[in-house]
């Protein structure tokens, strides 16, 4: 082709102009869109502390802030992307453990969050409130004892009023105490576990239902104990089997109304539950070491599961139980 060919010159100019427009558009798009980068590639076996751990004990219900090492709830690692923007969530046991991980993740995904906790857990709860409010979200702290029906009803009412509605209910609070024998469990202790782990979700969900619209989500924290119970967790394991069943039953009941019900089944997770009577000192020292990953999980490793179950793009997940047990658990 000759350089003085008019058609060639025109094509070259048009092509060059087109390329310039594409380049300009790409540059503008890149500048307008926040650049998200993937988390560093890590070996899951060495990502977090491994046993042996030092002996440690706290009065029930324990504080995450006093644990050694401190649990990771995603305080520094969780990055949101607006998946729950505008949602209103109530999380029981939201001061530490999986509840805290869910509260942090929800807030960073754009949700307003109310947490419930036992009054002695106030120091942990204050930390969670600060993290929620740092995201520019509404955060409500509602302490109280879930063993009382009147409080559970009041909890929901305060959450609805303070948040301006309710879309997500996370039933996470639980009591776990280790006992070598059924003979060591008093009726009072048995009743405490049942009231906290079974009655409270029943009361809270009943109170919340009139406020939940199609698209809302109920998420329960169950456990690998529902499928493979430990000998020393006789009462706790029963409650988690019941939780798993209420997830599946309620999902069938509420599914036609457009309300999804799912569960999360953690394995050995490093939380205050373990150091406040949930495990023996011997078990605590080697906690999580029996899993294929050789360590306990951290609450931060479950936060994204709660987000997924609450998000609208998981709209066909109903009556499901998502496990996270380092390769050792069921389901």
CATH assignment of the domain containing 248:
3.40.50.720
Question: Using CA atoms in the order 83, 85, 90, 94, what is the torsion angle rounded to 10 degrees?
Answer: 60
pLDDT recorded at residue 35:
58
- Cα distances from 198 to residues 40, 202, 203, in angstroms, run 40, 7, 9
The three-state secondary structure class of 242 is helix
- Separation between Cα atoms, residue 125 and residue 140, nearest integer Å: 10
143-158 pLDDT tens trace: 999 999 999 999 999 9
Confirm whether 133 is domain-assigned: yes
Confirm whether 313 is domain-assigned: yes
Catalytically active residues are 236
- Assign 3-class secondary structure to 173-199: CCCCCCCCCHHHCCHHHHHHHHHHHHH
**What's the domain range around 117?**
62-324
pLDDT recorded at residue 243:
98
pLDDT recorded at residue 41:
87
> Backbone phi, then psi, for 92, in 5-degree steps?
-85, 145
Strands (DSSP E) found in the chain: 88-92, 112-117, 139-143, 168-171, 217-221, 260-266, 321-324
Confirm whether 235 is domain-assigned: yes
Residue 305's Cβ-count burial label (10 Å; 0-12, 13-18, 19+) is: buried
pLDDT recorded at residue 45:
96
- Separation between Cα atoms, residue 206 and residue 210, nearest integer Å: 8
User: What are the structure tokens assigned to 39, written together?
Assistant: 């988390």
Confirm whether 114 is domain-assigned: yes
Q: Residue ranges of the chain with pLDDT lower than 50?
A: 1-33
Distant-in-sequence, close-in-space partners of 265: CB < 8 Å, separation ≥ 6: 222, 223, 224, 226, 227, 240, 244, 321, 322, 323, 324, 325, 329, 331
Confirm whether 187 is domain-assigned: yes
Q: How many residues make up the chain in this entry?
A: 331
Confirm whether 121 is domain-assigned: yes
Distant-in-sequence, close-in-space partners of 46: CB < 8 Å, separation ≥ 6: none
Total count of domains within the chain? 1
Beta carbons of 312 and 88 less than 8 angstroms apart = no
* Whether this model's pTM surpasses 0.85: yes
Confirm whether 23 is domain-assigned: no
- Separation between Cα atoms, residue 227 and residue 323, nearest integer Å: 11
Confirm whether 43 is domain-assigned: no
């Amino acid at each position: 082709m000759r350089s003085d060919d008019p058609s060639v010159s025109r094509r070259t100019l048009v092509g060059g102009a087109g390329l310039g427009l594409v380049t300009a558009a790409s540059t503008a798009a890149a500048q307008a869109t926040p650049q998200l980068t993937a988390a560093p590639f890590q070996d899951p076996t060495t990502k977090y502390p491994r046993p042996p751990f030092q002996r440690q004990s706290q009065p029930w219900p324990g504080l995450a802030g006093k644990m050694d090492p401190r649990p990771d709830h995603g305080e520094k690692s969780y990055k949101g992307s607006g998946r729950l923007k505008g949602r209103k969530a109530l999380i029981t046991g939201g001061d530490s453990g999986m509840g805290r991980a869910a509260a942090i993740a929800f807030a960073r995904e754009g949700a307003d969050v109310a947490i419930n906790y036992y009054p002695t857990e106030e120091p942990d709860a204050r930390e969670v409130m600060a993290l929620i409010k740092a995201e520019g979200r509404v955060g409500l702290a509602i302490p109280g004892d879930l063993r009382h029906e009147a409080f559970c009803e009041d909890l929901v009412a305060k959450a609805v009023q303070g948040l301006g509605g309710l879309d997500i209910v996370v039933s996470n609070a639980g009591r776990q105490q280790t006992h070598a024998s059924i003979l060591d469990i008093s009726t009072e202790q048995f009743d405490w576990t049942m009231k906290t782990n079974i009655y409270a979700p029943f009361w809270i969900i009943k109170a919340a239902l009139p406020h939940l619209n199609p698209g809302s989500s109920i998420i329960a924290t169950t456990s690998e104990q529902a499928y493979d119970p430990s000998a020393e967790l006789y009462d706790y394991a029963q409650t988690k089997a019941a939780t798993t069943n209420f997830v599946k039953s309620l999902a069938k009941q509420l599914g036609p109304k457009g309300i999804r019900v799912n569960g999360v089944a953690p394995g050995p997770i490093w939380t205050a539950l373990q150091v406040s009577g949930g495990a023996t000192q011997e078990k605590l020292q080697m906690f999580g070491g029996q899993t294929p990953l050789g360590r306990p999980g951290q609450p931060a490793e479950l936060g994204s599961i709660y987000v997924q179950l609450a998000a609208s793009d998981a709209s066909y997940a109903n009556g499901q139980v998502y496990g996270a047990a380092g390769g050792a658990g069921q389901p």
